[in-house]
Structure 1
Amino acid sequence: MPSENGIYCIWLDLHIGIIEEYRAFHERFQEKLAPINGLPPDSINNLMLCFEQKIAPIKFVSNIDDALVLIQNETEKRIILISSGTLGKIIVPFVVENYPRVYSFYIFCAVISNHCCWALPYSSCLQMFGHETDLLIRLLRDISKEFIHLGRSYLTVDEGESARQYFVTAQTLEIQANIADTMHRPFNERLDLLQGPNGLIQIAQNLRDDQIARETIAFVDEIQYMLVDLSESMNPTAECIVHFLKIFLSSQTLITIDNSSSDDITRLIDKPTCLFTNNNALAQLMIQCCGSSNLSIYMIEENADLVNNTTRYGNINDLVCKLVELVVGEYRQQAEKHRNIRKNQLADIEMKMADRIEYEHYDFVAACLF
């Protein structure tokens, strides 16, 4: 999530920024703040690690010039700027006027009242705090609220997995904020919204599962469709239609073979098969090997006297249209079976698949006529 959520965080502070080691930064504030706030020794660590793992790495700088370089170099992500009060008084007005990518400011200062006058015009995008823990707790909760909003946006466009990731991250942020905020009662309003059988996480999970079902289970696989020795007969229209069908049919269901022996083809047949070919000798051999009860043959052949026990077509387009007809019919039969046993959701998916194949086929043909 950190690399995907579009957030970039800069912490500007004369003292914090000159600490080169991240661990030293943690240890400094653990020792300083734990007695004041009554927090467990690792509270700052947990908040910082949660922010960096779930939201964005924090870039620490000790002067305004370095902060502006980072802001200027980051052209794609939205920026959160955390600053001391003294440096914030200088940089915030300049950044607000010149860099709209910096959309939120958090001021960490010892005496908030000393900075109210200059900060008041920026109250719509700026918050001030006297303790790092309070700042970080609020930061997690603000971004949790933003992630819930983003997750809901993904729900409206049926992106279940993206929505779920944002909701789960928001849940983690809220839990971590509640653990650290020992001075107040847990804030559970958003957790109640996210959790439970009717919560946003479950709604997104259900949508994701439905998407997976649409992509993986709505295949017809009780019949094989085998295209043999047709490459030389293919034209652009037929090639487009066959390519389109491969989106909906597994590689074991729609098989295309060129220049293969009858023995190789025979070994591939393990269920009722529809054979499409222009090779009459192969068709007759296949009938002998597989039997006509398990094999339906559709051929391109102008001379009806040369064709026995087959359905004859004069050109490749008509032959491929027959393939589409059979696939569509199989989807609809499968949908009817599922509806009879009350698997209505799956039946609806299969009917939609059949309709889409049929209509897209008509579009391919129409496009080639004009």
Structure 2
Amino acid sequence: MIDEKQPPSKTGKFSIFRSLWYRSRAEALDDAEAGRSITMPVARSVPPLQQVLRRLAMALLILFVTTLVVWLDRSGYTDNSDNSVDFLDAAYYATVTLSTTGYGDITPVSDTARLINIFVITPLRVLFLIILVGTTLEVLTERTRQQVRVHRWRSHLRDHVVVVGYGTKGRHAIEVLLAQGIRKDKIVVVDPERTATEAASSDGLVSVLGDATRSDTLRKAELHNAARVIVAPQGDDTAALVTLTARQLNKHATIVAAVREDENLPLLKQSGANTVVTSSSSAGRLIGVSMAHPHVADTLENLMTYGRGLDLVERPVAADEVGRSPRECRDLVVAIVRRKKVIDYTDPEAASLQAEDRVISIRQAVPSR
């Protein structure tokens, strides 16, 4: 029997500290590995050359100010060579002083010059060195800062949206998400092409570079903590593998997948997708409608473009709508979702709305901010 009041042994304490050390080391290595494939949103758009030129200009400005201060108080300095200090001597003194070389051939002798050296020249020297060394330190600490940002981001990310594929489908899906009020920091893009991840980063999104069919890539996107997953890669075979991998990592997330061919729809359903959209057949139907009824096609395009003209939305039934007909709602109801079954508004089952129902309706678009 183990005595719960007995304090842990030294060996037990060492074992605990050792396990904590290994865990923190494993997390650090994981963050370092993730930092090489995760691209955070671009915090600033100033090119590196422009940053260097800006710092060089600041350093030259400090050098000029120091030279001017010494030259204005040149009577308080002495030069071992000719006992007089001109503008060139002042520039020379400012250069060797700011660089901390200090040869001692020009020295402040008056009380005013020495006070100026204490309260003006010395702070300028420190600032000068900070500017010169700052560029080097920034390069050396960039990787560490990247790892810290990645660790902080991964530890706080929950209930987000993972978008696999930053092509045409993925970009338009994200546009709709943003129009619906989802913040950019709640969207993570996964793509195997570096140009796509860099474009996503430039658009203010976190992106993960890698093969989304691999579970380690999806873990870097924190898919196991995501609420929704959009699968929009180039090929249907890739979409099936990504959907299967995503469902294995997250049993509860809502997965919406896009495929090109109708024959692959059952495969995506079996892989774990909640909703599958076929792009080629949908485009073909829209083309056929456009030929027969051009204005109907325009209206359909309007409905599918969120935030423009009319929006097709799904919402819960309001309290004052319970027991009433769908035709009496404040917006145009076209269908009802009851116990995961979609019912047309003309169906007799939809004659009276119930509290647990959800309605699919057409309403006037709210302009996005």
Question: TM-score, normalised on structure 1?
Answer: 0.29
The structure richer in helix per residue is 1
